[in-house]
């Protein structure tokens, strides 16, 4: 169970002793006990699976609950097959609308230093939102679309220097990975155990054990991605 403000997400694994219908009944009982109401019109179900699963059979939807292929969770469009097409379409649409404002300010005489600050605040920040969560799932085509948009921003004179999605993703990953190593961080429990080395070795980027990755999708997830990418820093 994951809760944020008045939103709650229930995650049920494929192999579980408890059925998702039973879990949802437990939630409804808790809601009734605490004098709250579930908005069933906003309650959705999404089935996650690997991008190219073998012998995948989509489960039957729950009664009265709509089953979606893509769901918007805290501002991020999440696809059941872990694709980012819908989310990239959304952020590029929003950012393209904000480019018009920058053009108006530039035509009014606003100089590059001020345009750069506004561009970072209105556009780049939108791309950076939750980037560690979905950036590792980007295909080469989607990366190309985002990079083409960033090149246009530089060409229009809205940024000091040219950046790309790989730079933004690496910077975001490094910052969050560093912060989550603090014991009090809410994501600290996702880290694997530390190595027990009695022999003095050369300094490494971190001291955590590396997981075994049987699937590329697992390798590209945030924590695993950082464990491998920042091993030698």
What is residue 223's predicted lDDT score, i.e. its pLDDT?
96
Give the E-state strand segments of 15-114 in sequence order.
Answer: 44-46, 66-68, 70-73, 76-79
Using an 8 Å Cβ cutoff, are 92 and 146 in contact? Answer: yes
Place of tokens 């780049």: 124
What is residue 197's predicted lDDT score, i.e. its pLDDT?
67
What is residue 75's predicted lDDT score, i.e. its pLDDT?
92
Q: CA–CA distance from 185 to each of 5, 44, 129, 204 (Å)? A: 19, 30, 19, 22
The sign of the CA dihedral 65, 16, 73, 30 is positive
What is residue 149's predicted lDDT score, i.e. its pLDDT?
98
What is residue 52's predicted lDDT score, i.e. its pLDDT?
76
What is residue 186's predicted lDDT score, i.e. its pLDDT?
92
What is residue 231's predicted lDDT score, i.e. its pLDDT?
85
Using an 8 Å Cβ cutoff, are 122 and 211 in contact? Answer: no
Residues of the chain with pLDDT under 70: 197-203, 233
Interior angle at CA 45, CA 43 and CA 46, nearest 5:
140
- How far does Cα 215 stand from its chain's mean position? 19
Label the pairing between strands 76-79 and 44-46.
unpaired
What is residue 233's predicted lDDT score, i.e. its pLDDT?
65
What is residue 121's predicted lDDT score, i.e. its pLDDT?
97
| Rounded CA separation 228/173 (Å) | 12
| Rounded CA separation 143/88 (Å) | 9
């Amino acid at each position: 169970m994951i809760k944020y403000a008045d939103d709650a997400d229930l995650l049920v694994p494929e192999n579980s002793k408890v059925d998702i219908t039973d879990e949802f009944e437990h939630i409804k009982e808790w809601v009734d006990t605490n004098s709250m109401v579930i908005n069933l019109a906003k309650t959705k179900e999404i089935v996650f699976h690997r991008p190219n699963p073998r012998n995948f059979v989509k489960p039957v939807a729950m009664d009265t609950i709509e089953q979606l292929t893509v769901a918007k969770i805290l501002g991020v469009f999440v696809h059941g097959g872990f694709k980012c097409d819908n989310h990239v379409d959304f952020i590029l649409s929003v950012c393209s609308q904000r480019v018009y404002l920058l053009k108006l300010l530039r035509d009014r005489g606003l100089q590059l230093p001020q345009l750069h600050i506004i561009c970072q605040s209105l556009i780049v920040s939108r791309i950076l939102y939750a980037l560690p969560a979905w950036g590792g799932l980007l295909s080469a085509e989607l990366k190309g679309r985002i990079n083409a948009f960033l090149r246009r921003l530089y060409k229009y004179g809205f940024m000091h220097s040219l950046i790309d999605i790989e730079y933004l993703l690496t910077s975001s990953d490094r910052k969050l990975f560093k912060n989550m190593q603090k014991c009090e961080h809410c994501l600290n429990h996702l880290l694997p155990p530390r190595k027990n080395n009695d022999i003095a070795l050369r300094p490494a980027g971190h001291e955590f054990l590396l997981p075994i990755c049987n699937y590329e999708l697992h390798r590209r997830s945030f924590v695993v991605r950082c464990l491998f990418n920042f091993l030698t820093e």
